[in-house]
Amino acid sequence: MRSKVLVFAGVLACVLFALAGAGFCQQGQAAGDGKVTLDKWNKIIEAKVAETTPDGKGLINYEEGYIEAVGIGAPPEKYYGKPQARPMALRAAQVDAYRNLLEVTKGVQIDSQTTVKDFVTESDIIQASVSGLVKNAKVTNREYMSDGTVEVTVRMYMSGSFVRTIMPKAIADDKKTDPPPPPMRPKPGKADDIFTGLVIDARGLGARPAMSPKVFDENGKEVYGTLVVNKEYAIQQGISGYARDLSAAQGNPRVTNNPFTVKAVSAEGAGKSDLKIASNDALKLRAVKENMAFLQKCRVMIVLD
């Protein structure tokens, strides 16, 4: 009797182990579809000004200034269980990740009308530069799944060389198409009129982020953008920073200790990344020499939903 009980217990244990193994394998397969990275990205989106691509293979984090993509790789079936399987799956995942990163990068919004893809299509030089930057992106994470697949995440920052590739054309195009800001002779301001940065609250307007947003007054004259900024500052730190929290934006080192906070009137353009502010607020910025100086240095934060 006792032997039968032991046999039954052994069989039951084997069945439970097999079922657990199947469940683990299914979990690994699900993760191999990119869900490990997607879960991480969803948490980032909840807290930061960021968005994923429709296919779930990429993340554009405008607040922290980087682009990520995930790639999935599996070894050829004949190598399953062999020593070569893992390196081959890793290589396939990296190739897939870099290919996806290039596609995600093309979708980055430059301004309300233009994406990186538009510039890449127009210029072979920019296309070659962007492709080269993508190939040098850093691998930030590797996940080895129970089914033998590998998930690789790669990251490229939207600063330095990337901005240096994109921004000169953006500035040149704007000078061709946009009217210059109205002529002003700003004067040294009184203490109460001098600020150290600009914070624009654009919540509730459906506004979206971009690398090169523009700010207009109610008459459509540019207050801030590529026609105003110093190109070197734009390359070093981007034209503006982004945040989801107004207090966090006001306390950001980018705008230092006394920013001028304004409420945007509307979000403009196809990409909803251009902002309109009240003409009285625009006048406060334009009339004071010190305020124009911080605009040239890109000391601007934008708050989005």
* More reliable by pLDDT, 130 or 18: 130
> How many residues in the chain?
305
pLDDT at position 204 is: 97
Q: What is the pLDDT of residue 20?
A: 37
Predicted local distance difference test score (pLDDT) of residue 167: 77
Q: Which is more confident, 47 or 22?
A: 47
**How sure is the predictor about 171, in pLDDT bands with cuts at 50, 70 and 90?**
low
Q: What is the pTM of this model?
A: 0.81
Report pLDDT for 12. Answer: 41
Task: Tell me the average pLDDT across 98-102.
Answer: 97
How confident is the model over 270-297, as pLDDT tens digits? 999 999 999 999 999 998 888 999 999 9
Distance separating the N- and C-terminal Cα atoms of the chain: 69
pLDDT > 60? residue 7: no
* Structure-token match 């690789």, residue found: 152
pLDDT, position 76: 84
- Confidence band, pLDDT 50/70/90 cuts, at residue 33: low
Contact 146, 90 (CB under 8 A): no
Contact 289, 187 (CB under 8 A): yes
Would the pLDDT of 174 be above 80?
no
User: According to the model, what pLDDT value does residue 179 have?
Assistant: 61
Give residue 191's pLDDT: 77
Q: What is the mean pLDDT of the chain?
A: 85
User: What average pLDDT does the segment 109-117 reach?
Assistant: 93
Q: What is the pLDDT of residue 11?
A: 41
Round to whole Å and give the CA distance between 117 and 105: 8
pLDDT given for residue 186 in this prediction: 66
C-alpha R_g of the chain: 25
Residue 131 CA: distances (Å) to CA of 95, 125, 167, 236: 13, 10, 16, 21
Residue 223: Cβ-neighbour burial (10 angstroms; 0-12, 13-18, 19+): buried
Model confidence at 29, pLDDT cuts 50, 70, 90, reads: very low
| Of 32-41, 250-259, 294-303, the least confident | 32-41
Taking only the tens place, the pLDDT of each residue in 212-268 is 999 999 999 999 998 889 888 988 888 999 999 999 999 999 999 999 999 999 999
Report the pLDDT averaged over residues 113-135: 93
Q: What is the pLDDT of residue 13?
A: 42
